[in-house]
Chain A
Amino acid sequence: MMIDTILEAIATVNRQDTVKISDWRLVERTQERQERYYIAAKAEQARAVDEINYSLTIYVDTTTNDKNFRGEATITIQPTFSLEDCIAKIRQGVFAASKSHNPWFGLPDPSALKVALPVSGFEALSPTDRVDVVRGAFYSAAAKLEGSARINALELFITKEQRRLINSRGIDYFATLWRGYSEFVVEAEGPDGPVELFDDIEFSEPDTARLAMAIESRLAQVRDRALAKPMPQLEHIPVILRGKEAEEVFSWFFNNSCTEAIYSKASAFELGKNVQKASDDEEVVEPLDLWAEPVIPGLPSSRAFDADGFPLERTPVIEHGVLTTLVGSVRHADWLGVPRRGSFPLFSVSPGSMSLETMHAAPYLEPVMFSDFQLDSVTGDFGAEVRLAYYFDGNSVVPVRGGSISGSLGAMRASMRRSSETATATISRCPVAVMLQGATVTGIR
């Protein structure tokens, strides 16, 4: 077994060399993947992938002036490596680790995991059935709309990963992870020719209803894009962000609440302070609650332990707008002197008090597809070209296209409103919509 070879190589280096490995962490990832690439309903090619990766992190401790330091280096061990190859590569890692002198921190010790990952429904299906079930969900939904909107292309990936994490402190965790991913292009005919929209979805279950809903909503929207008018120049209009873009807004709060961002000063957030306002005299319209989540059913990023091997459990991070707990890597938690909580893959946000119906009762601009929505995790600045939006002028809702929106979340966070409806997105369960005041809307007429 390759893991045995790697452990023997570590022992050999520690036995023979002057510079010792103080601690180590080894992650084995074995992946089996089925891939299909459809053009309309035909497959361009069929692919299968078997991968195995070994990532070894080596820690080397030093002491200078009675102060302890810990250097580290992460190396890739190829499955073809012999024992001699492993020893040579590990020696390179030890040399590199001995040259970095970070403040000392300890690796997590063994402890019971606090959450369990649900067993995926993919587990009971054959490789062929996995593909057929997911493909069927998409194409059956599209067939209902045949003639007015259709699938142009669809790529499908279903991966089973078996991950084992062991470390020198005695941790030995194992997880089976399922990641389904599909990206699709839908198209419709308009008076000026065909138009398209692009989207993608991640999933860990053969949840045909969720998959069908994802493509149905885009098929309906691409029909609207075919009829959309150029977006007008608009001032002082609330902008409603939906789905993944709403999730990005909440991600900004989550990312800036992490130990690494605080330690490096990339984040301006402070523990115990209200992070929904830039100054004390601002009034927060709707205080936010945010939790770090290890598991959200249906999301492939769910994890019972983090990359360091720290067991995760649901943790409140922002309560009523105030940053109460820092989450993130254990080393940065130690360096900041805060309790270790681990690095979380997912988060959830409390619903707001405003229903979608109420948000839609007054004039608004609601972009539902951008070219590529960008929200800078440090500055909070955001912007994107609009591919499809719905504009309500107080009388009627019309689909519009083109132009762009931009702004800075830092200046809008106090006044933002969240929908009372929530849904599972890509890395969260959060309100399906967020309403922002003060965004710059650049129209094309």
Chain B
Amino acid sequence: MPQRTHSPFLLASRPMLAGIIAELKPHFDYISVLATDDRGLSYLALPGETRTAEPMWVQRGFVFRAQRGGKVAEYACASGSVAQATKAAAEIRARLEALLTDPTLISFPQIPDEPATSEYLGEIEEDPFHADPESILARLTALREKLTDGKVVVMAQSRYECVDVSRLFLSPNRSLLQSFLWSQAYLFGVARRGQMSKMSYRPASGRKGLEILRQLETSVPELAQELSDLLEAEPMVPGEYEVILDPDMAGTLAHEAFGHGVETDMFFKKRARAVEYLGKRVGSDLVTMYDGAAGVDQTGSYLFDDEGVFSSKTCVIDRGILKGGISDTLSALALNIPMTGNGRREAYSHKAYARMTNTYFAPGTSTLDEMIASVKHGWKLSQLNSGMEDPRNWGIQLICMVGREIKDGKFTGRVASPVVCSGYVPDVLSAVSMVSDDFELGGSGACGKGHKEYAKVSSGGPYVKTRMRLG
């Protein structure tokens, strides 16, 4: 497969940025710069129109981080503000020094600057930047037209987006460069009967190019049937049930239940109950969970994070025992714990936080058929709508669009939509009784910190059987 290439802008900027770092070094205990040049494409096919634009992730700029006397400040600027090294260094120094006068700033241990030089170039099959826009729009239009029958499915839309990520990290002792492309695509459909509307979708994603559209093209018949079924959906009868979560739902359970809960900036703020449970049981023996930009290849994968720390793979839960957290640099320093390479920014202009990357349950040994056959009365849940964490009090919320009833090991044909799943996280994980031998990661969504700071992540793993409250 053809390799990506590094951003010419970053390659051209590297000597100037190295010059700025050299000029600033004597004035601070620590200094670094992250330079980004992420370009992208976005194609959208709607009823009666198509649109070509660029995704929200497109960015080009620099963020300088300085530490003095333990205090930390950052100054972020658009690339156009930094044209000449010596002049820019003086301006950047003035901005950073003004910020460091804030008397409320906390002191952190010295940020390390271990020597390292490394580069990474991703690979894809079909390069969207070399494709004819007309052919992409034609594929998307064909997808939505195939799904729209005008009787049940009254509206459909399809979207393809890609981002060509290029990041350069420089400090006095580190020079890191990475470039890779990720893509995501969706096919949405709306079914309607009278005034009642129901919606569902199929996603595709990966550190891939246009080849992800093939996945959507094969999903149309199943999605059309699902939309038809949803028009017959009933409200969920409230209660606690056996549930089989599809890999997307299960991955989001992992993400919300113990992904956010082990972000170590939450430990630092004393917002995470998980810190009291390190080394203790939080789930059944069947629960093993990982997070890592290394080890798997999906939209959350990279060589180094936005603080210049190499990626890793963290075992969060090992056979039911909570093992450790995922860290950004400052919380790792404050808590004296390992840096895991999870310091991520929405863009150069945003702060780095401890963030997830690819979060998933490890596969088990059961088959999906065995899991379905084992259910006395429960629901198979799929088509995630949203999830939310509660790291302090360990509540969990997952909302999905499709619940299919199972009685005595067989589907009854009843469908519920939407389904709100909730519970107390240790209860839900302790009730995990079967885990399938499948393994599937999906990276078509984005993860927020609070209600902002969106980062590209993936989640997934196997099908998981547990018990949850449904409403």
| A contacts, CB < 8 Å to B | 2, 33, 35-39, 41-53, 71-76, 78-80, 93, 95-97, 99-103, 152-153, 155, 183, 185, 187, 193-196, 198, 200, 233, 263-266, 268, 278-279, 331, 335, 370-372, 374, 376, 378-381, 383-385, 387, 402-408, 410, 440-444
Contacts and interface: CB of A to CB of B under 8 A. Distances in A.
B441 interface: no
B48 A264 contact: yes
B128 to A, nearest CB: 11
Contact of B471 (A38, A99, A335, A403): A403
B431 to A, nearest CB: 15
A265 B154 CA distance: 7
Interface stretch (B210-218, B266-274, B318-326): B266-274
Size bin of chain B's contact surface:
35 or more
Contacts of A378: 190, 197, 199
A48 B95 contact: yes
A100 B50 contact: yes
A333 to B, nearest CB: 14
A45 B420 CA distance: 38
Contact of B395 (A97, A387, A406): A387
A80 B80 contact: yes
B18 to A, nearest CB: 17
B420 A385 contact: yes
B429 to A, nearest CB: 17
A183 B98 CA distance: 24
Given A198-B450, A278-B194, A80 B420 contact: no
Given A49-B76, A52-B80, A76-B54, A376 B471 contact: no
Interface of B: 9, 39, 46-54, 58, 60-61, 71-81, 83, 95, 98-100, 102, 104-106, 132-134, 137, 154-155, 157, 190, 192, 194-199, 235-236, 238-239, 268-271, 273, 330, 349, 351, 385-390, 392-393, 395-397, 399, 417-420, 422, 424, 450-452, 469-471
B155 A49 contact: no
A44 B330 contact: yes
Contact of B155 (A43, A265, A331): A265
Contacts, number: 249
Contacts of B190: 265-266, 378
Contacts of A72: 51-52
A78 B419 CA distance: 44
A92 B54 CA distance: 12
Given A95-B133, A102-B48, A374-B386, 9 more contacts: A48-B74, A74-B51, A183-B450, A379-B198, A381-B418, A383-B471, A385-B388, A404-B469, A408-B235
Contact of A42 (B47, B72, B104, B154): B104
B76 A402 contact: no
Contacts of A200: 450-451
Contacts of A44: 72, 105-106, 330
A407 B416 CA distance: 12
A264 to B, nearest CB: 5
27 contacts: A33-B349, A39-B106, A48-B74, A49-B77, A72-B51, A74-B52, A75-B53, A75-B54, A78-B9, A78-B80, A79-B80, A96-B133, A102-B50, A103-B49, A153-B271, A185-B271, A196-B392, A265-B190, A266-B155, A374-B385, A383-B420, A385-B422, A402-B395, A404-B471, A405-B471, A406-B420, A442-B471
Contacts of A93: 52
